[in-house]
A = this chain, B = another copy of it.
Amino acid sequence: MATYVHRFADGGKDDKDLLGGKGANLAEMVKIGLPVPPGFTITTEACRAYMRDGVVPPELRVEVTMAVREIEDAFGRQLGDVRDPLLVSVRSGAKFSMPGMMETVLNVGLNDASVRGLAEMAGDERFAWDSYRRLVQMFGRTVLGLDGDLFADALDTLKAERGVTSDVDLTADDLRGLVATYKALVLEHSGREFPQHPREQLDMAIEAVLDSWNTDRARLYRRRERIPDALGTAVNVCTMVFGNLGEDSGTGVCFTRDPATGHSGVYGDYLPNAQGEDVVAGIRNTFPLAHLEELDPTSYRELLAAMRKLETHYRDLCDIEFTIERGKLWLLQTRVGKRTAAAAFRVATQLVDEHLITLDEAISRTTGEQLTQLMFPQFDRSGETTLLTRAMAASPGAAVGEIVLDNAQAEARAAEGASVILVRRETNPDDLPGMVVAAGVLTARGGKTSHAAVVARGMGICAVVGADKLDVDLTAREVRVDGQVLRPGDVIAIDGSTGEVFLGEVPVMDSPVMRYLSDGLDAGLAAAPDDATRELVVAVDRILEHADSVRTMEVRANADSADDALRARARGAQGIGLCRTEHQFLGERRHFVEAVVLAESDEEREAALADLLPLQRGDFVGLLEAMDGLPTTIRLIDPPLHEFLPDLTELSVKVALAERDGGADPRDVKILGAVRRMHEQNPMLGLRGVRLGLKIPGLFALQIRAVAEATVELRERGFDPRPEIMVPLVGSVREMHLVREEALGILTEIGRGSGHLLDLPVGCMIELPRAALTAHRIAEEADFFSFGTNDLTQTTWGMSRDDVEGAFFHDYLDNGVLTISPFETIDALGVGALVRVGVEGGRSTKPELKIGVCGEHGGDPESIRFFQGAGLDYVSCSPFRVPVARLEAARAAVEAGGDATL
């Protein structure tokens, strides 16, 4: 028989699977001798049995009886006692925090009889009836499922009758009457009496908490946070203690260090003669924690000792909820405290300096996501600002610009050089053109996974979403916020890291951390406005330096130009993992490629290619010079043919109209013919990558020749260029063989001609399922592999990125098929399985085969952890994400090491 009930004394902080987070930490506090009110935890196993069978396991009732009796004996009070009743709270507590998602019932045990005992015990009749009133209200709403407004309205009515505005002005009699009203409401709307038997209250409250695990909003929340539904919640039943029994009582929240800034030293709030609810409701102003020292020095010292004990024990910043009942300190909850990004870095290095944790652990305590937040530009808040509203921070950064309300406006003003912020009720794929040119996006609706949020993060522009005070009126062409009216052209500033929206200009500055990352420690320190920021910059430096020493995966960058390469190198990139050569084709040199694609004879094509050679060579010279001494992976041309050609529909319309008007441009007609001939239904699955290279004679040869000649030129100038040639979209070993033969021929020829040994590695992308499945064969012809997980995701799921994000991504988030875009974080189960197959296959043929990843997943924390597990040698990401990848790769290595975390 499973044991469904654990006393707080039976467990510890590592039992979160069974006891939930709150229960495990309560047990831990009991274990280390801190004052916790007696209580017990009903395990997640009980919840899982309940979900499976649809009824509470019968053993549970027996075990609850045993546990309650133990508390009664220990505390000397009994549930339902008419003189000095035991009251308990019933709270949910899952393994992972789900704030606000699940239910709590306080004051269980009060009834028409015991309310009198409580009054007597407390010496405060008003307190007792207020407690009873709260129980009936909470019970009605939570356990019986009644509309909370019923109770709120009755309270308002009563206050109106009494001519008071605050709850505290109601008398004991008022509250006794309110209890009667509430009980009548319960009977009327639920069809049953409010249960008088304390044990019935307790059982119903437990069941209600268990039920709250499976409400729609809890399930939705879990899907989005990727918390498995099967975990279940624990239920904590805890003796009530009261902070509102007079001036020698009170309640508070404290932190062992400042979670906002990371300052060392305790931090918190205290409210005398109050309950936790009152702190949350913000009815009265709290005092800083130090105030407690004056009020109750004994309890204060006891609390400081408990905080120190907890921080030493948890070896991390803790947050604590506590209550003082008539001079006796009780700790109600603790956990490792949430903190801002800056605090994370500062606290981690402080703890290292205090010899509480190692640098390896410090790495585990900071995340790439936090580092990213520190890298975005930020508002200079030293001047005056006018806050318009505050909403959800959806894509970090700081943007200032004119309000624009649609694509046309956005494009027109951006074309005139204005910085614009697109303001919409919500966005959809039609708004993309406007988003592309905007500095930021502000929407009135939607959450962190709304279209605006997802697309803005993808494009790296700043976004604030769900600003529900915003009224975007497209008819009047104005935006109203709290009565204030804004019009297109008015300047606003949005902070995508905090969710703030300001009226007017706010100066934007580079973050000191970014200055440090780009230009070194001295520059970072110089940019820091205060000591706290200087400490932060030093903390980031120490952690990244250590990260570089512990990680086992290299970090490279995806960069197509010398400028990008230099930027990436400054931020710690150890090479280029992907240089996309087609960008060089698609830019100003498009006309050449049109000539190549449209060439009508071998001679025309060869001439056009010959013209391109010096230009490509020049590009590679710049890139390889920037990356002197570091590996630089150059991918041969990849995109679908149609990207080099005008749009079929646009050109068809243009030619048709011109013909109607007396004759189209013959060049247009010729191009239209080519576009029609080469039109593909599904260009992503068509003529691209190695297919294009094998079909158009001389195309890959031109690029390989340019790489080889650039290498020779740089060597002769005393540099150490290290290009690696990468073949895209390989699906079979023979494709690789053909390109490799061609490449080796050209390298040998140019090597002989120049007197340099050109033994450049020739490898390939693994970006098709077939490449992963036949990697053991492809490895025979490849010097290295690089996973292209963007394309691999597209083909494994059979979803193109544009189409999924345009057409049905949101439906799929809503219905739970996806919890995050598989293009953002690697789909470990499907795409990841192919990555593993590819690594195993490649290394079965060449045990030392170098394998990396150069899709956008290379900069995503969770994906980086996956790649570490899959045994990759390097990740390659955008220059911006390089520091993030350095940190995350180190965290993954430390995790993989296994013994560095508690």
Assuming the A-B contacts A682-B682, A830-B770, A830-B774, are A731 and B797 also in contact, with contact meaning beta carbons closer than 8 angstroms in the complex? yes
Give A455 Cβ to nearest chain B Cβ, in Å. Answer: 16
Is A833 part of the contact surface with B, judged by Cβ < 8 Å? yes
Contacts of A735 in B (CB 8 A): 817
**In contact, B653 and A803 (Cβ under 8 angstroms):** no
Q: How far is the CA of A684 from the CA of B656 in the complex (A)?
A: 29
Q: How far is the CA of A817 from the CA of B770 in the complex (A)?
A: 13
Q: How far is the CA of A74 from the CA of B156 in the complex (A)?
A: 124
Give A4 Cβ to nearest chain B Cβ, in Å. Answer: 28
By beta carbon, the residue of chain B nearest A691 is: B808
**In contact, B685 and A685 (Cβ under 8 angstroms):** yes
Q: How far is the CA of A652 from the CA of B791 in the complex (A)?
A: 31
Most buried by B among A791, A794, A799, A808: A799
Is A572 part of the contact surface with B, judged by Cβ < 8 Å? no
Contacts of A777 in B (CB 8 A): 829
Contacts of A660 in B (CB 8 A): 657, 660
Contacts of A685 in B (CB 8 A): 682, 684-685, 794, 798-800, 803
Q: Provide the A310-347 mask, 1 if CB < 8 A to any CB of B, else 0.
A: 00000000000000000000000000000000000000
**In contact, B732 and A817 (Cβ under 8 angstroms):** yes
Number of copies: 2
Give A697 Cβ to nearest chain B Cβ, in Å. Answer: 10
Is A649 part of the contact surface with B, judged by Cβ < 8 Å? yes
By beta carbon, the residue of chain B nearest A677 is: B430
Give A175 Cβ to nearest chain B Cβ, in Å. Answer: 48
**In contact, B652 and A803 (Cβ under 8 angstroms):** no
Assuming the A-B contacts A731-B797, A794-B685, A798-B731, are A770 and B827 also in contact, with contact meaning beta carbons closer than 8 angstroms in the complex? yes
Is A768 part of the contact surface with B, judged by Cβ < 8 Å? yes
**In contact, B677 and A773 (Cβ under 8 angstroms):** no
Q: How far is the CA of A797 from the CA of B795 in the complex (A)?
A: 8
**In contact, B656 and A807 (Cβ under 8 angstroms):** no
Q: How far is the CA of A808 from the CA of B729 in the complex (A)?
A: 14
Is A177 part of the contact surface with B, judged by Cβ < 8 Å? no
Give A635 Cβ to nearest chain B Cβ, in Å. Answer: 16
Give A281 Cβ to nearest chain B Cβ, in Å. Answer: 40
Give A69 Cβ to nearest chain B Cβ, in Å. Answer: 43
Give A570 Cβ to nearest chain B Cβ, in Å. Answer: 36
Q: How far is the CA of A729 from the CA of B430 in the complex (A)?
A: 26
**In contact, A803 and B680 (Cβ under 8 angstroms):** yes
B649, B770, B798: the one contacting A652 at CB < 8 Å is B649
Q: How far is the CA of A682 from the CA of B806 in the complex (A)?
A: 12
Contacts of A148 in B (CB 8 A): none
Contacts of A834 in B (CB 8 A): 769, 773
By beta carbon, the residue of chain B nearest A654 is: B656
Q: How far is the CA of A830 from the CA of B691 in the complex (A)?
A: 18
A residues 721-780 touching B (CB-CB < 8 Å): 729, 731-732, 734-735, 738, 767-770, 773-774, 777
**In contact, A695 and B430 (Cβ under 8 angstroms):** no
Contacts of A800 in B (CB 8 A): 680-682, 685-686
Give A870 Cβ to nearest chain B Cβ, in Å. Answer: 15
Is A389 part of the contact surface with B, judged by Cβ < 8 Å? no
Is A112 part of the contact surface with B, judged by Cβ < 8 Å? no
B683, B687, B807: the one contacting A687 at CB < 8 Å is B807
Q: Provide the A672-696 mask, 1 if CB < 8 A to any CB of B, else 0.
A: 0000011011111111000100110
Is A225 part of the contact surface with B, judged by Cβ < 8 Å? no
Most buried by B among A680, A686, A695, A834: A686
Is A796 part of the contact surface with B, judged by Cβ < 8 Å? yes
Is A815 part of the contact surface with B, judged by Cβ < 8 Å? yes
Is A802 part of the contact surface with B, judged by Cβ < 8 Å? yes
**In contact, A773 and B833 (Cβ under 8 angstroms):** yes
Give A154 Cβ to nearest chain B Cβ, in Å. Answer: 38
Contacts of A767 in B (CB 8 A): 798
Q: How far is the CA of A681 from the CA of B429 in the complex (A)?
A: 13
B729, B791, B795, B808: the one contacting A796 at CB < 8 Å is B795
Q: How far is the CA of A816 from the CA of B738 in the complex (A)?
A: 9
By beta carbon, the residue of chain B nearest A679 is: B649
Is A811 part of the contact surface with B, judged by Cβ < 8 Å? yes
Is A612 part of the contact surface with B, judged by Cβ < 8 Å? no
Q: How far is the CA of A833 from the CA of B732 in the complex (A)?
A: 14
B649, B815, B817: the one contacting A649 at CB < 8 Å is B649
Q: How far is the CA of A175 from the CA of B677 in the complex (A)?
A: 60
Q: How far is the CA of A649 from the CA of B676 in the complex (A)?
A: 11
Q: How far is the CA of A833 from the CA of B771 in the complex (A)?
A: 12
Q: How far is the CA of A827 from the CA of B695 in the complex (A)?
A: 22
By beta carbon, the residue of chain B nearest A829 is: B774
**In contact, B769 and A796 (Cβ under 8 angstroms):** yes
Is A648 part of the contact surface with B, judged by Cβ < 8 Å? yes
Q: Provide the A790-829 mask, 1 if CB < 8 A to any CB of B, else 0.
A: 0100111111101110111001100111000000000101
Interface residues of A (CB under 8 A from B): 430, 648-649, 652-653, 656-657, 660, 677-678, 680-687, 691, 694-695, 729, 731-732, 734-735, 738, 767-770, 773-774, 777, 791, 794-800, 802-804, 806-808, 811-812, 815-817, 827, 829-831, 833-834
In the A-B complex, the 10 residue pairs with the smallest Cβ-Cβ separation, listed nearest first, are A686-B803, A770-B830, A685-B800, A682-B800, A769-B769, A768-B798, A682-B684, A687-B807, A682-B682, A649-B649
22 A-B residue pairs with Cβ-Cβ distance under 8 Å, sorted by A, are A649-B652, A652-B653, A678-B807, A680-B802, A680-B807, A681-B684, A681-B800, A682-B682, A685-B799, A694-B808, A695-B807, A731-B798, A731-B799, A734-B817, A735-B817, A738-B817, A768-B796, A769-B796, A773-B796, A773-B834, A777-B829, A795-B798
